[in-house]
Structure 1
C-alpha cells in the first residue's frame, strides 16, 4: 500500500494509492462469528478482543437488534428488537452459545395513567437495575404521541411485566442512576413528516420502586404516574447559548410559530449519568449540544454547545468518487452531533465522552441536507468564492465529484451576513470521538484517526456501508459513523469501546488520561467478501470480569442491520 504525500494549491493531501472498487451486493446477511474477523492493534496494545458467539434473529436490515444490556444475576443479555416491538431475552451463561429464552412484549399492558399500550408500539431502549428491575422505553405507534416506561423482572424465567407509566413523546433511550433510585428517559420528540405536529423534547425523571422481591409477580412496591417528573427546556426559550443549533422547526416548515419553539426544536437522544448519580448528560444530536440535568431537582441546568471539527486542519475523505483513500483537508467544519455518551471520573472531576455520529433533519416538511454541488440550485444560495480560494481551487473544480461536490452539507447554517452565499460549509458528524470536561471544554479529539485506522485495517473496504460491502461508499456522508459507546475499567485503566455503524466493528481507546487518549485495538466481526457477520453496530454494553460468566471482561454489541447480538471476550495481554 503506497502512501503519497501531495499538495494541490492550498489543500494539503494525504492519500493512499487508488484501489480497485470492491463491492458485495446487499443480500440478507448471515450473522455468526466469521472465519477471520478484522483485527488491527497498536504495537503496545494492553488488551485484545475476540468474538465468542453471535445470536442471529435472521431478520436483515429491520432493526431487529439494537440496544443491549447484560444482566449479571441471571447471566442474560437483553436485546431490543425494534422490528418486533419487543425485548429478546438471551441466555448468556455460556457466551459461546447464546440461546433465546423468551421475549418481552408490552402490548396490552395498562399504564398507571389509565392508558393501555397498543399493538404496534415500539421498544427503543432497555436498562436493568442491580436487583433485576428492568425498564423499557416504548414508543407509541404514532411517534408524536406520548410513550411509556414499562417495568419488568429481568431475572424471571418467563415474561413478567409489572406495570408502566406514561412519559414523553418518542422515548428513545432509558438509563438508571448508579444508586438504582431513578430512571431517566430521553424523549426525543421528533416531528411528524409534514410538521403538522412537533412535540417538545424532554427528559422524564422517574422515581423507581425501592425493591424487587420474590412474590407472585416478582415485585414489591407501587407504581404511580406521580413518580414521573418532566425536565423540559422552557427556561431556554430566550436563553439559548451561542453555538447550539436551533433551526428547522414548525415555523421554517409550515410558517406556524409555536409557543415554545426552542423546546420543540431540541431532541434528547442519549443519557449518561455521572458516577455519583447527581448529574446526567443528555445528547441533543441535531442541535450539536449536550444538556446537563440535575437528577435530584429534575431540572435542566445548562446546555453545552459542542463545537466543530475543523477540516482545514483535520483531514477526511470527502468523496465516494475519488477512487482512492483520499484523506485531505478541506474548507469544511464538521458538527460533532453525538449519539451515545459516556461519563467517568478522573481525580474528582467528571468527564463526558461523545461518539460523534452526526445526524440531520430530513423530513418531508423540511430538509437541511444538500450536496455541495447543488448549492446555487433550487433556491439554495451558492458557495462564496472565498471558500474555493481557501481550498486553492476554482468553484468549478471544488464542485467536482472527486473533490467536495458530493459531500452532504447543511443549508441551515453558514450564510454570509447578507445571505447571498455560504461563507462556511458545515458537514454532519465528527467521524471520531471526543472527550469534554464538565463545563463542556474539549480536552481530546480523535480527529481523523478512525478513518486512518480503517484505511490500514481493511483498505479494500475503507468507509464501506453496512448493507453493502463497498469501497469508499460512505465518504461523501459521515464516513465510519461512530454511534454506540460503552466505557469500562480493566486493571485500573478506563477504556472506551466505540461502535462504527457503517464499516462496522469496535474501536477501543485507553482514555485513562482524558487529555491523551490512545488507540488500543480495532476488531470487526464482518466478512466483507460475502457481507456476512455483524453489520451496523448500534448499542454496546461493557461487562466487567466480576460480572462475566467467563471471568473475563466482555463487550456485548447489538447490530441493527444483521439483526445479531454478539459477544466479544477481552483478554489482557
Structure 2
C-alpha cells in the first residue's frame, strides 16, 4: 500500500485550514438551491430543457434574473428570503437570450435572433422587472454575447460576437462577418438606441485579425472596458466615453506542468503542456489597473487556470495548474476532459464582501467555484465551493453577503440533474464542503473519484477503506480514509493489480476485509463491455490472488446491474460473503432482488430474496450491504435526483434470517426493518440538490456509522461527494 509522506499529511493539514477555513473565520456556504425548471411557463413539458447561464441581480438585491437560451427566455428568482428562493416566472424573448444585466428596475437582455451563423443578427431588449414586459428594443446589427454596465449604470457595452460555425472548415477562423463591440448610453435603465456606437476590432489580434470574436466585457471605475477576443487570444481595452480602442495585447500562452493530459481512466498529474494559449473567456476588473481572466479555451487553447494582467498586458499573476490540482484534491477532477481543456475555468465574479475583495472562479467541467482572496499580489485560495453541473455565470450581492451561480447543464431528459441557480452566504461558521479530501503524494495530487463502497479498517476507530468503480478503469483503487479529521482525509492508496499491472475489466462496487487482512472485492459486470461479474481476493499489496466467477445458475440470468456491496458474516470456516444484487435479474420476480452468499471454504453458493420498496418513477435497487452486530445493513435507493428523489434508505436484515437456499430453486424472502432515512441529510448536508448515488455504508471498529456518495467521476454529475457520519439508534 502506498503510504503518503508526513510532508504530504502536513500539506493536507494546511489544505484543511487554509483552503477550508476554521470556524472562527467567516466562510461561504451554500444556503439554497433553485431548480430552473420551476420557472417553466404553464403548459410546458416539465422535462423541457432549461439552462441558467448568465445571471444578474436587481439593484435592491432581492431578485435574480438569468438568461435561459434553450427556453428562449429570461427567468426571475425571488430571493427576498435567500434561504428559500421562490420562482418568479419566465419571460419569453422571441429569440435566444445570451446575457442579461439590470439597472433601475429594468433588465437589459442581449438576444440572438440570427438566421444563421453566416447571417447574424440580434437586439437589446429592455424589460420592466416589476411587470415582466418588454418595453423597448434596439437592433444590434449582429449576434450578441456578453453585456455589462459601468458602475453608475449610465454606460453599457455588448460584445457582438458573430460566432464561428464549428461545422464549417473544421471550425477554423477567419469566418465572416467579423465581430465588434457595441457601446451605448443608459438612463434609468433605459437605452436610447440612437446612442449605440460600434467599435471596430479588426486588425488587432495576431490570430485571424480580420475576424475578431468578442466574448466577454467588463467596466472599471474609469469607464474603461476590458474585452476578451477568445478565439483570437486577445484582450482589448476600450474607452467607453469615446468608443475607441485604447490598447490591446495578446493573452499569451502558458507552460503547464503537473497536469493530467490523458483520458485513460486514471488520475495521473505528471503530464505537461507547452505553450498553451490562454484563450480567456470571462474578464473582470480587480481595480482600475488590474484585470483577471478565466482561461477556458474554445479554439486551440485553454490553459486550465486564471491570469491577472495590468492593463498594459503585463502578467502580474498566473495560476498555472494550481487551481486544477486543488480541484483534484477534493475529487472534482474530470478525467474524461484530460485530453481536452481539463476543468475549463469559464466564469468569473469579483466583489468585495464583508470588507474583503474576492475572486470567484467558475470551473465548467469540475462544477465548482474557487474562492480567492485578492491580496493585491498573489491571490489566496480560501475555499472551493460545490456548484451545480456546469456553472456558467455568477453574481455577488455584497449588501447581503451573497453569491449566486447559474449552472447551465440540464440533464433531465436522461434522468440526471436539472439546471440550477445556487445561493451562497458569507457568515461565521464551518465550511460544509468538502467533506472528504485526498492528501498529496510527493507533492502531486492523488485525487479520487466515484467512491462506491466502504469497509472498516479492523481494530482502528475512524479508519475506513473505500473503493473506486469503473470510472478509474486503468487505476482501480482501494483508498484508506481517516474519518476522524474534518474533512475526512484519504491518507493512502492501493492500486489493484493483476500480473503487476493495474487490473483492467473491473467495476469495483464493494469491499470487505477478512480475518487475515486481505480484501474481498465485488465487481459489477457488464457483458457488453466484457466485464465479468466476479469476486476478487486481493492481498495487502493489492495483488489479485483469486478470481471467483459466477456459477452457471447466476450467470445465465445476469444483467448489467450486479453486485453492489460485499460483507462478511461469520468467522473461520463458516465465514460467508454476502453480496447485494442491485436490481432484479432475469429469473427474479418483479420487486425482489437477491442477496447472494458464497462460502470461500466450501465454495458453496446460495441466495435469499429481498423485497424492494415500490416506486412511481425510476427504478429501485440496492447499493451496499454491511454486517454489524446481529444484522446486515442494506442501502436501498431510487435512481432519482433532486426534487424527484423519494427513496434513500437504510434497512437492516437479521443475520438469523439469512438462510441461503440453493441457486436455481425457490429462495426464501427475508424480512427488512427500516433503520434510517438518508433523505434529510442528503437535502441539508450542503443545501444542494439530492444526489442519487448513495453507494457506501459501514460501521467502523468502534461502531460509528459512515456513508458516502458516488460522484460518477464528474461525468454528467456535479462531482459532489458527501461523506458523513450517520447517527443510528441502538446499533452498537
Distance 1:517 1:172 in 2: 29
Partner in structure 2 of residue 424 of structure 1: none
**Separation in structure 2 between the aligned mates of residue 434 and residue 62 of structure 1, nearest angstrom:** 34
Shift of 1:73: 2.3
Q: Is the 8 A contact 1:337 1:358 kept in 2?
A: yes
What residue number does 2:505 align with? Answer: none
Which residue does the alignment assign to 2:78? 91
Q: What corresponds to 2:233 in structure 1?
A: 288
2 CA distance for matches of 1:197 and 1:124? Answer: 20
Q: Per the alignment, do residues 122 and 43 of structure 1 end up closer, same or farther by CA in structure 2, a change over 3 Å counting?
A: closer
Q: Secondary structure at the match of 2:70?
A: coil
Deviations 1:319-342 (A, max 9, x none): 111x43222253522111111111
**Post-superposition shift, 1:162?**
1.3
Residues in 1 aligned to 2:146 and 2:229: alpha-carbon distance in whole angstroms: 12
Corresponding residue SS for 1:286: coil
Cα 1:508/1:47, change in 2 over 3 Å: farther
Aligned to 2:337, what secondary structure does the other structure show? coil
Which of the numbers 314, 331, 335 marks the counterpart of 2:277? 335
Q: 2:407 aligns with which of 559, 564, 567?
A: 559
**Separation in structure 2 between the aligned mates of residue 507 and residue 197 of structure 1, nearest angstrom:** 35
Shift of 1:475: 1.0
**How far 1:301 moved relative to its partner?**
2.3
The answer to whether residue 57 in structure 2 is matched with residue 65 in structure 1 is no
1:537 aligned residue: 391
Structure 1 contact 317–328 (Cα < 8 Å) conserved: yes
User: Over residues 333-382 of structure 1, what are the superposed CA-to-partner deviations in whole Å (9 max), with x where a residue is unaligned?
Assistant: 2111111111022xxx520001111111xxxxxxxxxxxxxxxxxxxxxx
Partners of 1:97 and 1:166 lie apart in 2 by 38
Structure 2 counterpart of 1:8: none
1:450 aligned counterpart, secondary structure? helix
Instruction: Please tell me whether residue 496 in structure 1 is matched to residue 475 in structure 2.
Output: no
* 1:568 and 2:424 are equivalent in the alignment: yes
Equivalent in the alignment of 2:262: 319
Q: Map 1:392-411 onto structure 2 (within 5 A).
A: 410=300
In the aligned structure 2, how far is the partner of 1:335 from the partner of 1:498? Answer: 19
Post-superposition shift, 1:245? Answer: 2.1
Counterpart Cα distance in 1 of 2:423 and 2:215: 25
| In 1, Cα distance between equivalents of 2:234 and 2:113 | 26
Unmatched 5+ residue regions in structure 2?
10-15, 38-45, 410-417, 430-732
Change (3 A) 1:153 1:40: farther
Contact 1:47 1:520 in 2 (8 A): no
- Work out whether residues 36 and 50 of structure 2, in 8 Å CA contact, stay in contact via their aligned partners in 1: no
Would the aligned equivalents of 2:54 and 2:406 in 1 still touch at CA under 8 Å? yes
Cα distance change of structure 1 residues 331 and 123 upon mapping to structure 2, 3 Å threshold? closer
User: What TM-score, normalized to structure 1?
Assistant: 0.65
Q: What is residue 96 of structure 2 aligned with on the other side? A: 122
Q: How far does residue 516 in structure 1 lie from its aligned partner after superposition?
A: 1.4
Residue 185 of structure 1: how far off its partner (Å): 0.3
* CA positional deviation for 1:503: 1.4
1:51 is the counterpart of 2:26: no
Residue 286 of structure 1: how far off its partner (Å): 0.8
Match of 1:177 among 142, 150, 158: 150
Shift of 1:100: 1.6
Distance 1:293 1:431, change over 3 A: same
Counterpart-to-counterpart distance in 1, 2:145 and 2:280: 14
Q: For residue 308 of structure 2, what is the aligned residue in structure 1?
A: 435
In the superposition, relative to structure 1, how do residues 94 and 486 fare at CA in structure 2: closer, same or farther (>3 Å)?
same
Of 320, 328, 351, the match for 2:290: 351
Distance 1:228 1:503 in 2: 38
- The Cα shift of 1:271 comes to 0.5
- TM-score relative to the length of structure 2: 0.51
**Is contact 2:74–2:93 with CA below 8 Å preserved after alignment?**
no
Could you say which structure has the higher strand fraction? 2
Q: Equivalents in 1 of 2:272, 2:54: separation in Å? A: 35
Indicate the RMSD between aligned Cα atoms, in angstroms: 2.7
TM-fit CA distance, 1:44: 5.4
Aligned to 2:513: none
Secondary structure, counterpart of 2:326 in structure 1: helix
Partners in 2 of 1:201 and 1:3 — Cα distance?
54
Residues 86, 99 of structure 1: CA spacing in aligned structure 2 closer, same or farther, 3 A cutoff? same
Q: CA deviation at 1:296?
A: 0.7
Q: For residues 61 and 563 of structure 1, what CA distance do their matches in structure 2 show?
A: 11
Residue 67 (structure 1) shift:
0.6
Q: Are the structure 2 counterparts of residues 66 and 358 from structure 1 closer, same or farther at C-alpha, using a change threshold of 3 Å? A: same
Aligned-partner Cα distance in 2 for 1:231–1:135: 20
Is residue 40 of structure 2 the alignment partner of residue 101 of structure 1?
no
- 1:3 deviates by 7.7
Q: Is the 8 A contact 1:454 1:463 kept in 2?
A: yes
Report what 2:648 is aligned to.
Answer: none
Structure of higher CA gyration radius: 2
- Does 2:121 match 1:146? yes
Q: 2: distance between equivalents of 1:3 and 1:56? A: 42
